[in-house]
Each structure stands twice: as structure tokens, then as C-alpha cells.
Structure 1
Amino acid sequence: MSFQHWMVSPACASGMMEAGGRCSQPNLRPVVHMPQVTVYTVPNCLDCAAVKRLLEQAGIPYREVDISQIPGSREALALLSGVRSVPQVYVGDRFIGQVFEVRHLIHTGKLQEMLAKADAEEQTGPNGHPSGP
């Protein structure tokens, strides 16, 4: 299995730019479609490297967002998760934890169960019927 890692540039995906090319509203919402796992990181972070390694060893694809160049990102994440430090790992828009929690979820199979359930829900609509056109 090959792993895909996406680095999000500091530019806002929504195009909301200020003079000088800075984001006026950082886009910190995790991607809902594959990969369902989003890891918020900063460079030279040992715990960030550890959580990415855990996901890779488990064969779980993820999207990496480097928040070091996104003004206000730590504060925004703290509001979402209640945690100021990184890494922060999300499945969809649900904060699932940091290294310790992710390690536990992988070793118990619970993270894989969460992802399988999210995949099944994505395949069907909220009423259990197939989604799509």
C-alpha cells in the first residue's frame, strides 16, 4: 500500500487572502473524504513524527496539515479539541487524541473500526440508503 501525504500550504483553500498573501481565516477543518484522518503538525516535532509513523505502520492513510505558518491555528485547534499542543489527530471532524490515544486506538483495533464505520456511512446516506446522484 502506498501512502499519500498532503501538505497544506499556508494559503487558505477558500481563497480568503489578505495583502501579503496571508490567510485571513485559516482553514483548519479536516477533509471529510479520504483520507479521513487528519494530523495537525509542526516541523521538528518528535510526537508528530511518532503519530505519523504509527499511522503508516498500521496502513492508515492520512492528510497532514503543517500549522506552523497558519496564524491563529493553535488557538483555533484549542477551541476544537481543548488541547493546545500537537500533534492533533482527527477522524473527519472528531478529535481522537494525540500520540498516546492514537497508539491505543490502533493497537486495540478501534481506529480501524472508526474508519470502517465512517466509510460505510459515507457509502450510504444518513437514512441508510446509498448516497450519490
Structure 2
Amino acid sequence: MKPVDVYTQPFCGFCTAAIRLLATKGAPVTEIDLGRHPDRRAEMKQRANGAHTTPQIFVGDHHVGGCDDLYALERTGKLDALLDG
């Protein structure tokens, strides 16, 4: 299964929902908390082509986008294939 990076911030319900869905899939998630590591925000924005909201989700090198994008992949049955890639 591909590793997943999720950029989050404290008290973000969308971040929590994204992490929860990935956990149900057994995905190896690395959470990058921008509240604790604000210096990594520039890294996130660069990887996400300027996106600045959280969460920003990456499966391997593939930028998924935010929580809504992740759940859209799940609804269409494409998330498992992306994770297993």
C-alpha cells in the first residue's frame, strides 16, 4: 500500500474525517500537523500547487486534494486502487 501524507491543522473536522477514512482502509498515514510545524506550510503549498487549505492529501506522489476529493474517490470506487497502486 502506498504511503499517504496528510497536512492537517488543529480543530479541523475535515482533517479528522480524512484521517478516519484512511485509517479504515489501513493506509500508512503520516500526519503533518501545521499547528506544530508551521514551517511546513510552504512545503504543502508547493506540493499542492498553491492550495493552502487543510487537509491536503497525497497518496505517494499523487495529490488527491482535500477531504471532499478523498471522499469522492471513495464514492466512485477509485480510492482502493489508488492506495494499492
TM-score by length of 2: 0.81
- CA apart distance, 1:85: 1.0
Q: Relative contact order (alpha carbons < 8 A, sep ≥ 6): 1 or 2 greater?
A: 2
Structure 1, gaps ≥5 residues long: 1-33, 118-133
Which of 57, 61, 66 matches 2:28? 61
- CA apart distance, 1:54: 1.7
- CA apart distance, 1:94: 2.1
C-alpha distance in structure 1 between counterparts of 2:2 and 2:37, whole Å: 21
SS at structure 1 position matched to 2:83: helix
- CA apart distance, 1:37: 1.1
Asked which structure has the greater CA Rg, the reply is 1
Q: Which amino acid aligns with 1:38?
A: D
How big is the alpha-carbon RMSD for the aligned residues of Structure 1 and Structure 2? 1.8
CA contact (8 A) 1:91 1:115 kept: yes
Report how many residues are paired: 84
Structure 2, gaps ≥5 residues long: none
C-alpha distance in structure 1 between counterparts of 2:39 and 2:84, whole Å: 33
Q: Aligned pair 1:84/2:48, yes or no?
A: no
C-alpha distance in structure 1 between counterparts of 2:75 and 2:27, whole Å: 13
